[in-house]
Amino acid sequence: MDFDLSSEQQLVVETARAYAREHLLPRARERDEKEIFPEEELRALGRLGLLGVNVPESLGGSGAGVVAYALALSEIAAADASVSVAMAVTNMVAEVICAYGTEAQKRRYVPQLCSGEAVAGAFALSEPQAGSDAASLRTVAERTPNGFRLCGTKQWITSGDRAGVLVVWARTGASVGARGISAFIVPAGTPGLSAGRPEDKMGLRGSTTVPLVLDGCEVPDDALLGAEGEGFRVAMTALDGGRIGIGAQAVGVATAALEAALAYARQRRQFGRPIAEFQAIQNQLADAATQREAARLLVLRAALRKEQGLPFSREAAMAKLYASEMAGRVCDMAIQVHGGYGYVREFTVERLARDARVQRIYEGTSEVQRLVIARSLLKEFEDHVP
């Protein structure tokens, strides 16, 4: 792996870092406490080219690649994970339309996502009874003379009430399981599409998570994304890439927690000296820094493989699994270093710990990541058995 960033990659990272520290961090606590959706901040990210980092310039993106995207997302997450999750899903929606959309679909929707005109993108796959088992979704898409009529309910949809462009999965065939599932592009405001009350979440409170109701939502034939019946493959491909984003987000949150713990340990004095001088504290900081760096390298390995067009599903699962669990440990360490102060909302580490918790759940739980990794290992072993 080449650890030297190109000038373009460096520019993307520096742009993200400057905006995150100057504009996102100062209001992160307010967005968390008041549950303020970052609409203007997302539009600003669009103007900076950060909502389509891995999207071709011809479609309004930055064209800087997956490595630059992962690094930029970490910078945003270190300041405010709520903003980073909306950024991550928007990039993912733009990428999936680039990968499977017709030329007309790409020209119509991708520039809206990359510029911030659409505010955000939404990925409507999960349902009340179909989370990790996405193949059991029940939303149906019935044929009409002019296209399809979507009926069903989606659950846990990030930015679902704010997104200008949504990709929705529904069953177009009678087959059960993954066969017969198709994907559709549904613009906000389409009759029959409505969002329910935002969930009152533990963390990521500046990001809305809502149920969606599709009540006779009619879309034309050209709303179909990819081939009919191949929607499950579209979703799984997108989720592989999305796991790189969640891994990068986890690295960003852990970085912020580690930096807060370092600063506090140097400032806090007990028994006549800074607690940073005590070996017990130093051991915790050293372990956290080592784990954060290991996670960062796993994320970058997966990002580089995707960028180079190599298989990356197992690497993305490893990165997401390790980084998300690492972030939980590092945030817990940061609270411990802060002592009682770490448990109150006045200190940033309390928010970071709440924001980190969901990273082990969305875009595939830790349990699902272990299944992906184990199946890949077993298949590789079987392929090499004489």
CA 61 to each of CA 7, 82, 151, 343: distance values in angstroms, whole numbers, following the listed order: 17, 22, 33, 41
Active site residue 363: yes
Q: Which pair of structure tokens corresponds to residue 289? A: 């820094």
CA atoms within 13 A on the CB side of 10: 5
- The one-letter amino acid at 8: E
CA 156 to each of CA 162, 315, 361: distance values in angstroms, whole numbers, following the listed order: 14, 25, 11
Which is catalytic among the residues 95, 325, 350, 363? 363
Catalytic residues: 363
